[in-house]
Every structure is written in structure tokens, then in C-alpha cells.
């Protein structure tokens, strides 16, 4: 990010966090991350939530989103029940390991708490 490579930064974050735009908006980084940031001992801690949100939004707004390479199929199929953040994350993890994943959702719109539990002002649905 410091070099202005925002798309690269978004892709780097997505290696370990498939939902940076969501985490950057709704997770409590102040308590979970920034309080433990060593940078905060000498100056202000890194505002990881704001940075995650920025690069994820930048990537989406530029229309430069990519699908990561998927390894060869392992022959295993997995059903994930629920398309909330946990279901989406585990589906991402399993797909990256080469498993075929089918997500089942009982409600009309996928997303679970992202769609039905977090108000629009906190997590815009777009």
C-alpha cells in the first residue's frame, strides 16, 4: 500500500481473509488488532480496518477483481450449510484446497448476518 499498489495489496490481504471489505467495516479492529499493534508503542497503531476497507473498495471500484487459481480437484465434495461469513470463509478455504464446494442457504438472499443482521449504515448491501 505504501507504494501505491492497492490492487496488489487487496490480493495479498485476500490470501488470508476472503472478506476484507466486510472485516474493514464491521470487525472490532480497535480491540482485536490495533490494541496489540507494536507500532502503537511508539506512535499510533496501524489502522488495519481502514486499510482493509480501502483496498477492497478500491479493487471493486476499479473492476479489477480476480478469482484465485484453484488447484486440481481432490475428488472430494463438501456441502456447506449457511452462506454467512463463516460459511463463505470455509467454502473459500476448502475450494483453495481443491475440494468442490456447494453452499446451501435457507433464506432468499445469500450472506446470512451480512445481509440480515448488520444494518445498511454499517455494512452497505452493495
- At residue 40, the pLDDT reads 84
% of the chain with per-residue pLDDT over 70: 100
Q: What is the mean pLDDT of residues 65-94?
A: 93
Query: How long a stretch of residues is the chain?
Result: 126
Q: Is 89 in contact with 18 (CB distance < 8 Å)? A: yes
**DSSP-based helix, strand, coil % in the chain, nearest 5:** 45, 10, 45
pLDDT at 10 over 90: yes
- At residue 37, the pLDDT reads 87
Angle at alpha carbon of residue 115, lines to 70 and 35, rounded to 5°? 80
Closest C-alpha among 86, 96, 73 to residue 15:
96
Whole-number Å distance between alpha carbons of 10 and 1: 9
Q: Is 98 in contact with 72 (CB distance < 8 Å)? A: yes
Q: In the beta sheet, which residues pair with residue 78?
A: 101
Using one digit for the tens of pLDDT, what is the confidence trace for 29-40? 888 888 888 888
pLDDT at 91 over 90: yes
DSSP code at position 90:
H
- What is the model's pTM? 0.80
User: Taking the domains of the chain in order of start, what are their residue ranges?
Assistant: 6-62, 69-126
Using one digit for the tens of pLDDT, what is the confidence trace for 99-115? 999 999 999 889 988 88
Whole-number Å distance between alpha carbons of 76 and 82: 19
Using one digit for the tens of pLDDT, what is the confidence trace for 41-73? 898 888 888 999 999 999 999 988 888 888 999
Closest C-alpha among 43, 42, 19, 23 to residue 33:
23
pLDDT bin (cut points 50, 70, 90) of residue 79 is very high
Amino acid at each position: 500500500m505504501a507504494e501505491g499498489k492497492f490492487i496488489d495489496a487487496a490480493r495479498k490481504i485476500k490470501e488470508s481473509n476472503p472478506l476484507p471489505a466486510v472485516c474493514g467495516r464491521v470487525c472490532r479492529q480497535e480491540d482485536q488488532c490495533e490494541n496489540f499493534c507494536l507500532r502503537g508503542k511508539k506512535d499510533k497503531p496501524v489502522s488495519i480496518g481502514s486499510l482493509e476497507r480501502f483496498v477492497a473498495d478500491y479493487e471493486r471500484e476499479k473492476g479489477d477483481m480476480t478469482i484465485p487459481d484453484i488447484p486440481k480437484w481432490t475428488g472430494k465434495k463438501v456441502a456447506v450449510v449457511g452462506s454467512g461469513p463463516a460459511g463463505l470463509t470455509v467454502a473459500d478455504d476448502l475450494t483453495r484446497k481443491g475440494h468442490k464446494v456447494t453452499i446451501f442457504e435457507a433464506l432468499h438472499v445469500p450472506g446470512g448476518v451480512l445481509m440480515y443482521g448488520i444494518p445498511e449504515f454499517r455494512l452497505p448491501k452493495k
